[in-house]
Amino acid sequence: MSQADIDRNVPTILTTFRGASDPDLAPLFYTIEDLWERKLWHQLTMALQEYYDHPKVTPALRLRFFRQFVSLFHARINQRRFVAFGLAAAAGARDPDEALTFLNGLALQVDNLGSRDAFLYVQIELARVKVRLEDLVGAKGLLDYARDNLDVFESIAEVNALYYLAWAEYYKKRNNFTEYYYNCLLYLACIPDLSSTVSIERRQSIAYDLGVAALLGDKIYNFGELLQHPVLETLHGGAYQWLVDLLHSINQGNISQFEASLAGNFAKTPLLQNSLPLIREKIRLAALGEAIFARASSDRTLSFAEISAATHLSTDNVEHLVMRALSLGLIQGAIDEVAQTVSITWLRPRVLNREDIDSMRQKLVQWDSSINQLGQWIEKEGKEIWVAT
């Protein structure tokens, strides 16, 4: 189609879409037509962004609008913005197969123009579609390609967000809870205003999945980062408040509260119920960490009996728990089997909650007091030494 043909057809195209859209969008269509006629491409891009962000634009209309209008001048606008419109349009596809075909065509368009960052942007979305199609080998190939090339380009929040989201979805499909957890948190970190850009339903779904992943991830032993993340607030007071409470009780090593919660919603969740031994281990390790953290750094030799009381384990099982903590790198220290004690030299740093911070404040107050007492003793007892010297 020649440029003259395009110029003649655009008013008709926009009039058709204006008639098929919500009346509230009419002024925006007039603005888009005016900017098109004046060839103000940057301003037109901003108007298109407003269109694609508008809540009254249906997914099907986004796709049709992209195919029939936006694609007519894709070489004139920023290619990354063009791809962003294309990804929004792809959500209107009838099924993943149609989305795959559409995105392959989009990739070809931007590749022909030599826009490598825009091409990479499409490849990441293609990986997400392949995950939905259960083509995990193909998805990983695209994500590996993205990983190898992402550092070449300037850091762009929206591209990074999509990249980590794609990995999170891939690992979720693989039931790799640890990698899902960390990639999903990285995805959330790339979104500057979560509440306005991600729907409440979507945030609740992510919060639930993150909570489950925290419990089942075999390398996740502290939930502090998740517990302080705004996304978890979407579960407060709702049907999944029990999950938030469960995460708190495990993170605090509160075994009594944890045991009391097992008869409720936990028992109705097979995925968690089937992993009860792992979750019990996590809370006992957390209880051990709490017992160590509560002690002064100069007094971190714990008896087996003290650990037994803190972890609700028999003294016969304490050594195994401590060895497990040592092997996981949660603590460093030595076990004295004869004296039945454990000397701790290091505790893995963790995200602190308010109670932890208050505990540290109390320790600093005590330390300051002991330093003052030492200074007073030296001043009193050391006078004769200073004089003799």
In a domain, 88, yes or no: no
C-alpha distances in Å from residue 212, one per residue of 116, 124, 156, 271, 289: 37, 25, 30, 9, 22
- Burial classification of residue 215, based on how many CB atoms lie within 10 Å of its CB (0-12 exposed, 13-18 middle, 19 or more buried): buried
Looking at the predicted structure, is the pLDDT value of residue 308 above 70?
Answer: yes
Residue 140's pLDDT band (boundaries 50, 70, 90)? very high
Give the pLDDT score at 155: 75
Rounded average pLDDT over 196-223: 96
Identify whether the C-beta of residue 102 lies closer than 8 Å to the C-beta of residue 90: yes
Give the pLDDT score at 9: 85
Looking at the predicted structure, is the pLDDT value of residue 383 above 70?
Answer: no
Q: How many domains does the chain have?
A: 2
Q: Which of 226, 251, 274 is the last residue of a domain?
A: 274
Give the pLDDT score at 93: 96
Q: Which of 240, 274, 308 is the last residue of a domain?
A: 274
- DSSP result, 222-263: --HHHHTSGGGGGGTTSTTHHHHHHHHHHHTT-HHHHHHHTT
Share of the chain above pLDDT 70, in %: 89
CA dihedral 378, 379, 381, 385 (to 10 degrees): 90
In a domain, 257, yes or no: yes
In a domain, 330, yes or no: no
pLDDT tens column, 350-364:
886 666 666 556 656
The 3-class SS string of 60-71 reads HHHHHHHHHCHH
C-alpha distances in Å from residue 268, one per residue of 237, 261, 271, 281, 355: 19, 11, 9, 20, 31
Give the pLDDT score at 113: 72
Q: How is residue 113 written in tokens?
A: 């123009």
In a domain, 82, yes or no: no
In a domain, 168, yes or no: no
Looking at the predicted structure, is the pLDDT value of residue 372 above 80?
Answer: no
Give the pLDDT score at 355: 64
Lowest mean pLDDT among 126-130, 192-196, 231-235: 192-196
Give the pLDDT score at 8: 72
Parent domain of 205: 175-274
In a domain, 221, yes or no: yes
Length reported for the chain: 389
pLDDT tens column, 62-121:
999 999 999 999 999 999 999 999 999 999 999 999 999 999 999 999 987 778 889 999
Residue 57's pLDDT band (boundaries 50, 70, 90)? very high
In a domain, 380, yes or no: yes
Give the pLDDT score at 351: 80
Residue 217: phi and psi, rounded to 5, are: -65, 125
Helix (H, G, I), strand (E, B) or coil at 382: coil
What is the average pLDDT score of the chain? 91
Task: Please give the biggest Cα pair distance in the chain.
Answer: 105
pLDDT tens column, 283-299:
999 999 999 998 888 88
Give the pLDDT score at 61: 95
In a domain, 383, yes or no: yes
Looking at the predicted structure, is the pLDDT value of residue 4 above 70?
Answer: no
Rounded average pLDDT over 264-268: 90
Q: Which of 274, 301, 320 is the last residue of a domain?
A: 274
